[in-house]
Chain A
Amino acid sequence: MREVAVIGISCTPFGEKWGCSFRDLFVEAGSLALDDANLSGEDIDAMYVGNMSAGRFIEQEHIGALIADYSGLSTRHIPSTRVEAACASGGLSFRQAVIAVASGMEDIVVAAGVEKMTDVGTGASVDALAGAADREWEGFVGATFPGLYAMIATDYMSRYPLTREQLAQVAVKNHYNGARNPIAQFQQEITIDTVLRSSLVADPLRLFDCSPITDGAAAVIVAPLDRAREFTDTPIRVLASEQASDTITLHDRRDISTLDATVAAGQRAFKTARITPKEIDLVEVHDCFTIAEICAIEDLGFCKKGEAGKLTADGVTALNGDLPVNTSGGLKACGHPVGATGIKQVYEIVTQLRGEAKGRQIDGAKIGMTHNVGGTGATVAVHILGV
């Protein structure tokens, strides 16, 4: 297996982009990533694109070919493949690109992610997202996606000392970071009161515990490490690329409050990279809901079960803490265009490791991690990146 490096990155601003089409979004992300790597389309050997539900959101399938075509690559007939694993589609797209390069099958590969969610109404998007869980045995009886995470929160709070205020602090921290990230959907700081006064969506989760509906696209380019310096002075190495699965329904899990797929993918990633959690300088975790960030910090092994709430309240996961979590603002404040999220996480870690994160820069960051979840934990992708 060859070592792999990220040589180019880009991300569109995230938000409700009424003036932008699906095609506009990925063409912008793709062309900026090529610019960043000083490449032309001629150099690309293959593409992967993470996309959860273009069929539901814009009634368009066959996204792989569409993206290659509108990226101006149709005359070169490169392989272009859509990857789908609900909200983990982006993480899996990146992993497929890494595997293609590591195996020696391809040299220069684009991993993209895109989602255009605001072309349908809220009810329709809630229903499309519910497809990330089990349609027949969860969605059919009235389970919504926030409702499933709310049941994780209820279970968690009955067993561990997590307060409602500590949970709110996750959102406060992520909005603080988002206010320092120019591509973030939300650019304003909030207080614990903002969260506690927002409307209930699924008890105990309130509107400000939930990630928003977002349009956006991101793209990164990977190459063999030994060729990376042909394209960039700051290649970022892929130290581990791991993926795990679990039951599709929440109710069939071994433990409602532990994402065993996160535990498995995290442990494999640390083993592959031959490092321990202590050596991670910053991590982008999948905070689709505030409770999800609490579980992720624990399940990845950064602290014991039941401790992440206190860790958050104590500022350990803040920008100036020992383990900055979600410097981008996370899904909560940066936004969550589902298929693009896993690629945006890689974009953020690479930006930090290059030292280009400006107002939210973690000084001296050498090793970062991404954690991307599909559904309520049925798919998890974890990556470790290093300078």
Chain B
Amino acid sequence: MSVARFWRKIPQRYNLIGTVCKTCGRHFFPPRSFCPDCRRSGDVVEYKFKGTGVVVTHTIIRTASDQFEDLTPYALAIVQLDEGPRITAQIVCPPEDVKIGMRVKGTFRRIAADGASGVIYYGTKYVPDE
């Protein structure tokens, strides 16, 4: 991924900045500036997510693309954030320990190194939240 393409999404990737519609209360991550439910009567503003949620489903990735091969095996999950939106994320713990319904919280981590550009990408991974 190009540096500019990554850099544009830094607020969302590093700090979980999304949006919320003040009219209906629906949260959006990644952020949307237009509420599909309220349309023109929507009032969408920036929102910083708490970064806590629950594992909806998961897997252990054992064969990955070149960028992620040195991380295998790693746990990947769909996490439902407490505000509602779902995201896909890595879970940092022994991969066999991840279970549906497990509570997790976001943490700032290295995501991948791009071999070609030498750039190291950071973002949010999740850890068990006991």
Point out residues on A near B: beta carbons under 8 Å: 123-124, 126-127, 130, 135-144, 146-147, 150-155, 158, 199-205, 249-252, 256
Contact = CB atoms under 8 A, between A and B. Distances in A.
Contact of B87 (A123, A251, A256): A251
Contacts of A147: 59, 61, 76
Given A142-B90, A251-B88, A202 B63 contact: yes
In the A-B complex, list the 7 residue pairs whose CB atoms are closest, starting with the nearest. Answer: A150-B59, A123-B66, A127-B65, A155-B57, A251-B86, A203-B60, A151-B57
A252 B9 CA distance: 19
B56 interface: yes
Contacts of B111: 140-142
A199 B100 contact: no
A249 B88 contact: yes
Interface stretch (B19-27, B42-50, B67-75): B67-75
A146 B67 CA distance: 16
B62 A154 contact: no
A154 B59 contact: yes
B68 A142 contact: yes
Nearest to B30: A137
B77 interface: yes
Name the residue in B9, B65, B90 with the highest tally of chain A Cβ atoms < 10 Å from its Cβ: B65
A144 B66 CA distance: 11
Interface in B1-50: 1, 9, 30
A151 B78 contact: yes
Contacts of B112: 140, 142
Q: Looking at chain B, what size class is its interface with the partner chain?
A: 20 to 34
A123 B115 CA distance: 13
Given A136-B9, A137-B88, A141-B111, A126 B63 contact: yes
B27 to A, nearest CB: 13
A20 B51 CA distance: 51
A141 B90 CA distance: 7
Name the residue in A150, A199, A203 with the highest tally of chain B Cβ atoms < 10 Å from its Cβ: A203
B105 interface: no
Nearest to B65: A127
A123 B60 CA distance: 17
B59 A151 contact: yes
Given A140-B1, A154-B59, A155-B57, A123 B76 contact: no
Contacts of B113: none
Name the residue in A138, A139, A202, A256 with the highest tally of chain B Cβ atoms < 10 Å from its Cβ: A202
A140 B112 CA distance: 8
A199 B65 contact: no
A143 B76 CA distance: 7
A153 B78 CA distance: 13
24 contacts: A136-B9, A137-B30, A140-B112, A140-B121, A141-B90, A142-B71, A142-B76, A143-B61, A143-B76, A144-B65, A147-B59, A147-B61, A151-B57, A151-B78, A154-B59, A158-B100, A201-B63, A202-B59, A203-B59, A204-B59, A250-B78, A251-B78, A252-B86, A256-B57
A256 B78 contact: yes
Contacts of A142: 61, 64, 68, 71, 74, 76, 90, 111-112
B90 A154 contact: no
Contacts of B89: 141
Given A137-B88, A140-B111, A141-B111, A123 B61 contact: no
Nearest to B96: A203
B59 A138 contact: no
Nearest to B101: A158
Nearest to A155: B57
B1 A199 contact: no
